[in-house]
Structure 1
Amino acid sequence: MNEARDVPLRRLRLRRPTDSLTDRLWLLRRRWRTLLRLSLATSGSFFVATEVLHHQQAFFAPIAAVLVLIAGAGLRGRTLFELVLGVAIGVLVGELLVIGIGRGPVQMALIVVLTVVASTLLGLKGLAMTQAASSSVLLAAVLPVAGAGNPAVTRFLDALLGGVAGLAAILLIPRNPVRDIDREVQRILNQLADILSSIAQALRTVDPELADVQLATARQMQPQVEVMTSTAASATEIARMSPVRWRQRDHVRSYVATVRDLDNAVRDTRVLARKSSTLLRRGEPVPAGLEQAISALAKAFRIFADDLSERDDFDEARDALVEAARLATTALTARMTINNATIAAQVRSLAADLLYASGSTRAEIDEKLDFG
């Protein structure tokens, strides 16, 4: 088990550094959407605030746009709207308080506290509340110019304008939701296929340590599942809200439909790995054909990944999954143990997980996996 515990540390040591100039250039190239959004949202909101609304101190417009685009990166739609509202509310409440009580160290403390109180009563929390407090601090520290009109109104409008500009930039220059969710789903599917292939090798070579390593790897996959789930939710919102991505809604929907079943597949793989390790450590004989069934299942996972990415009809993947389940069932002999029976059952469960993900109904799966 020490080897299993050392796996994450070895991977960490082998990971390539990300602070080289090449890595930074690669990261910069990936951020082209963020750079374009920032330039358009800040300049656009500042232009409208100064040239259309004739505000003399319109710094809150570009600041609010930057806050929404940077602090709101990757946030869900509702949270983004709350962030826009939080910035604007922080400006309005803070400026009204400044008008009433003036500026100074004591007033600054009171303004921040009362802004947080007002934000809480309005239902804002987390990042939205943080930005509300930050906005109130900024305006309390900056004196408005004489003759610039009512600062509470102008600064509130500027903040709201900048926030809306940032939100519009996100919707009009969105990320590719299909590519985002495909990356996470493919990562899960390929890692599961690798784990299954290694478990099959462990059974073939009677190597309990290799099975232990795969069990440790499977146990470490839950954060990836959570990232995949979050990405699926964000991709769904982008495809629904952004006119630029409306045509991708069906493709995104097909990915999202697999997420829950892939979560189940990760859990089933952990059980399979644990039982394989137990079987090998107890010296139980490996039924002939069981490792072939797991190898076939790993191949089926890779076929499913290709079918999902290419929007195929899953016929080849379904056939491969059924074949893996058949091999597992026929591998069981009269000398069954709880471990080899559980392994075979988990192969069937994993096949069912992906059959569900491919759109098969419960009745269809029961019929396909009935080898009696």
Structure 2
Amino acid sequence: MEQQPASGSSWTRTVTKARQWWARTWSFATRRSRSGASRVTSALVPAAVTALCAVLAYVFAELVLGHEDPLFAATAALIALGFNRDPKVRKVLEVAIGCTLGILIGDLMQAVLGQGYWQAVLVVYTSILVARFIDSGATFTLQMSLQSVLVVLLPAAEGGPFTRSQDAIVGGFIALLVTLLMPKNLRKEAATGLRDLYVTLTGALRDCSEALRSHESRTAWMGLVACRGTQTAVENLRKDVKNARELATFSPTKRHARPELDETAHTVEMSDLAVRSMRVVARRVISVIDNGALDDEGTGLLADWFDEAADAVGILGRSLGEPAAAGRHKSLSVARGALGGAAARLDPAELGATTLHAEALVMLLRPMMVDLIEATGSSHDEAVGYLPRL
């Protein structure tokens, strides 16, 4: 009778552990299924483009050039196009050249040295050295060595020693052509990145407001840390804009987007300056709070200003995410007005900044607001014109 509770307790623990294990397993499987479904959904169009590109390269080399089993045309197209959601012109061109050069080196050395194992070692060795001489990228080296070793190990092509080199050129050219002509919104990635960046900036302004109201500098530290973490996002924005401008330059169907991308590039630079200024502002807010440099009236006035600025910056972030140019420009004019209204109040006397620390805080806000107004498309002189004279 005394052992029954122990047995029951052991059974209960076993059942509890089994349920916990099943819950963890089910949660893991659910997360993996959702992430997998998300990847499949985002891959529908790229998968179709990649498949069509590979088969098109094969068909062209077989029917137009008359090559028998032109597998290198399909493989070169697949490797050059890769499996990116939005293939980059420079990347596609780089990989295509790497594939072609690797096959060409294999063809040349096979014609001179013949086919065999030691020839394969020499071909791969030479391909790696040539690739490292031409480009520092690991992908370029991999493609050259991979294609060259396949050339010397597979049976010789019936169409001649350089048939496979021609197939690689066909595959790379078709991959590049598809990349240039594939319809896409060149500004989409940058718009998403800018919207996320301004969400962070808006949050930092809210943190500064809350820090002033609660006299708690740690809240401002949270905003400072968030702004410090945006540098990678800004660098990614620059890369996105650079890739989009590159595609707009070379694609005959997307050159009309170049002026819009130039505006976006300017917005990214001004946004970067604004975020950098926000870091300095957050540090100054921390100093003002820790040193008690504001009285109750000044604290309330500056906290209200940070809330107003956060509202204006939120409008700017949503405006930059507008997909259509007409709607975006209209929204940016609203954001410009809101930002200009906040900038017009940046007078230390009006905001109750009567000490040196408080005055310094207000003065640091002025260049930040100029950068934000310029991010809406205004000129520097127009942006400075919103500031009150001191």
Tell me, yes or no, whether TM beats 0.5. yes
Q: What amino acid sits opposite 2:354 in the alignment?
A: R
CA contact (8 A) 1:38 1:66 kept: yes
Distance 2:104 2:279 in 1: 53
> For 1:312, which of 329, 333, 350 is the aligned residue?
329
Write the deviation string for residues 198-226 of structure 1: whole angstroms up to 9, x where unpaired: 21111111121111111111111111111
The answer for the alignment partner of 1:206 in structure 2 is 215
What is the aligned partner in structure 2 of residue 129 from structure 1?
A: 141
Superimposed CA distance per residue, residues 48-103 of structure 1 (whole angstroms, 9 cap, x where no aligned partner)? 11122222231111111111111676564334322211110111012211222234
What pairs up with 1:18-167 in 2 under 5 angstroms? 19-70=31-82, 76-122=88-134, 125-144=137-156, 148-151=158-161, 153-167=162-176
Q: Residues 342 and 17 of structure 1: is their aligned pair in 2 closer, same or farther, counting only changes over 3 Å?
A: farther
Structural RMSD (CA): 2.5
Deviations 1:225-250 (A, max 9, x none): 11111111112223333344344444
**Rounded Cα–Cα distance in structure 1 between residues aligned with 2:363 and 2:149:** 61
Partner of 1:10: none
Q: State the Cα distance separating 1:349 from its structure 2 match.
A: 1.7
CA distance in 2, matches of 1:21, 1:311: 37
Alpha-carbon distance in structure 2 between the residues aligned to 1:353 and 1:239: 27
Alignment of 1:174-185 (within 5 A): 174-185=183-194
Report the alpha carbon displacement of residue 334 of structure 1 after superposing the two structures with TM. 6.3
Q: Is the 8 A contact 1:37 1:166 kept in 2?
A: no
Q: In structure 2, what is the Cα distance between the partners aligned to 1:87 and 1:336?
A: 67
- Max Rg structure: 2
> Separation in 2 of the partners of 1:25 and 1:335?
58
Equivalent position of 1:197 in the other structure:
206
One-letter code aligned to 1:336: T
Amino acid at match of 1:94: G
- TM-score by length of structure 1 reads 0.86
The counterpart of 1:224, out of the listed 228, 233, 257, is 233
Tell me the equivalent position of 1:5: none
Q: State the TM-score, normalized to the length of structure 2.
A: 0.83
Q: Does 1:264 align with 2:273?
A: yes
Question: CA-to-partner distance for each residue in 1:97-156, whole Å, 9 max, x for gaps?
Answer: 1222234443323212211333345457442232112211222221225xx0223x1110
Equivalent pair of 2:80/2:95 in contact (CA under 8 Å): yes
Deviation at 1:26, TM superposition (A): 2.2
Distance 2:254 2:41 in 1: 21
Q: Is the 8 A contact 2:72 2:167 kept in 1?
A: yes
- In 2, Cα distance between the equivalents of 1:24 and 1:77? 28
- 1:356 aligned onto 2:369: no
Matched position secondary structure for 2:82: helix
Q: Residue 340 of structure 2: which of 322, 328, 332 is its match?
A: 322
Task: Give the aligned residue type for 1:135.
Answer: Q
CA distance in 2, matches of 1:143, 1:362: 66
Contact 2:345–2:388, Cα closer than 8 Å, also in 1: no
Residues 37 and 71 from structure 1, CA distance in 2 versus in 1: closer, same or farther, beyond 3 angstroms? closer
Give runs of aligned pairs for residues 238-277 of structure 1, distance below 5 A.
238-277=247-286
Aligned to 1:7: none
Q: Deviations over 1:287-313 (max 9, x none)?
A: 241122221111111222233323224
User: What do residues 307-360 of structure 1 show as CA deviations (whole Å, max 9, x unaligned)?
Assistant: 33232243322222222223332445463223x233212321221012222232
| Matched residue count | 353
Change over 3 Å in CA distance of 1:69–1:84 after alignment to 2: same
Q: Is 180-189 or 51-60 further displaced after alignment? A: 51-60
Write the distance in 1 (CA, Å) between the matches of 2:71 and 2:31.
33
Q: Is the 8 A contact 2:205 2:306 kept in 1?
A: yes
Counterpart CA distance in 2 for 1:208 and 1:33 is: 49
- Larger relative contact order (CA 8 Å, sep ≥ 6): 1
Match of 2:244 in 1: 235
Contact 2:73 2:169 in 1 (8 A): yes
- Secondary structure of 2:38 counterpart: helix
- Residue 335 in structure 1 maps to residue 354 in structure 2: yes
